[in-house]
Amino acid sequence: MKERVIIIRYAEIHLKGKNRGYFERLFSVNLEQSLRGIRHELHRMSGRYLVAEFDEAETDEICNRVSRVFGVHSYSRGLCVGNSLDEIFAAAERIAPNSGSFKVETHRGEKRYPLTSMQISAEIGGRLMEAFPSLRVDVHAPEHVVYLDIRENGKALVFGSFEPGPGGMPVGTSGRGVLLVSGGIDSPVAGYMMAKRGMTVEPLHFHSYPYTNEGAKEKVVSLCRVLSRYTSVDRLTTINVAQIQEEIHKKCAAELNVTLLRRFMFCLAQRYALEIGGQCLLTGESLGQVASQTIEGIASSNAVVSLPVLRPLIGFDKDEIIAVSRQIGTYEISVLPYEDCCTVFLPEHPAIKPKLSFIEEEEGKLDKEALLESAWESRETIAL
């Protein structure tokens, strides 16, 4: 039997010692979720997963989906056969090129196999040269490699290449965080990076309708749908902060408009996190990128919450962030010309190094609890 399979290898999970089973189970769940709607079977071997029993026409789509699952170190299209030399050769004959330089490379997970890795490689390589006289061996810089993986269960995997996965940890192994997602470039990248470290990401968007239009909200929905390819995000929660902005604009120092708004956002985000079991807040802030992202502005936002605030982009410059956004497919949506709520009532000269005492004095001019409650009642959940 020569069964077509997709061979999946995981990344950091092998370092988890006695806890490895927990990470493997969640990894398996994430793989199954990524393959929803495609007929297949998922089998677990020691350190490997196999996608089997699928329609060959679905191979590219399966590989595309697997390539976005965090925890995948690499994957290969290959064949699963019995571990007799005849069966291995029959599979290798289908994988090997018919001309050019090549070598056979064997990994022997089954240490009781009667031949060593080098002996297996030599035997299969010799048979391939007999089958394809135009082949020549080059063990140092071959044009092609035929990989043999002898497994412990009487099976062998035969394949011709390794495709890189995204690495990281399986989503769901590192807690739950609420992502403050705007329509810009940074926050989707921040969500992607935290999901790569195994965190379940729950997006929360603040809007200022009617100052911002429905197109701005739809832009964020589109960003979250792209993000869901990597993070299993299935909902977006939105909160209207227009009334908060109006009150800040009417009653407080103009240069603090954004600083005060962000403090309200953090309060609301923490309330949402506590409601859904979130353990931290996530933002796309990069130190010094804009006026509200100075160390003073960051400290001001942190001061109103007790949950940790994680900022995975804090040391990135804009070009680095853009490069990741292009890689994950959010950039073209992020640059669509719709305003987010932070551009409403934007002061001409926002405070760069506001003192916390001055911020708190200005905030004291507002009925903070009433504004927070009114905004909280405006929240909506959008299924992705």
Highest mean pLDDT among 98-107, 292-301, 346-355: 98-107
Condensed to tens digits (0 to 9), the pLDDT of residues 52-92 reads 999 999 999 999 999 999 999 999 999 999 999 999 999 99
Condensed to tens digits (0 to 9), the pLDDT of residues 212-233 reads 888 888 999 999 999 999 988 8
Q: Which of 370, 379, 347, 350 is nearest to 209 (CA)?
A: 379
What are the φ and ψ backbone dihedral angles of 339, each rounded to 5 degrees?
-80, 150
Q: Which of 383, 340, 363, 346 is nearest to 240 (CA)?
A: 340
Condensed to tens digits (0 to 9), the pLDDT of residues 125-153 reads 999 999 999 999 999 999 999 999 999 88
Q: What is the pLDDT of residue 233?
A: 86
- Domains (ranges, CATH) in the chain? 3-164 (3.30.2130.30), 176-383 (3.40.50.620)
Q: What does the mean pLDDT of the chain come to?
A: 94
Q: What is the pLDDT of residue 230?
A: 92
Residue 280 near residue 297 (C-beta atoms within 8 A):
no
Please tell me the pTM assigned to this model: 0.91
Condensed to tens digits (0 to 9), the pLDDT of residues 237-272 reads 999 999 999 999 999 999 999 999 999 999 999 999
DSSP string for residues in 272-322: HHHHHT--EEE----TTSSGGGSHHHHHHHHTT-SS-EE-TTTT--HHHHH
Q: What is the pLDDT of residue 350?
A: 84
CB atoms within 10 A of CB 85: 17
Which residue shows structure tokens 């908060």? 244
Average pLDDT over residues 312-328: 97
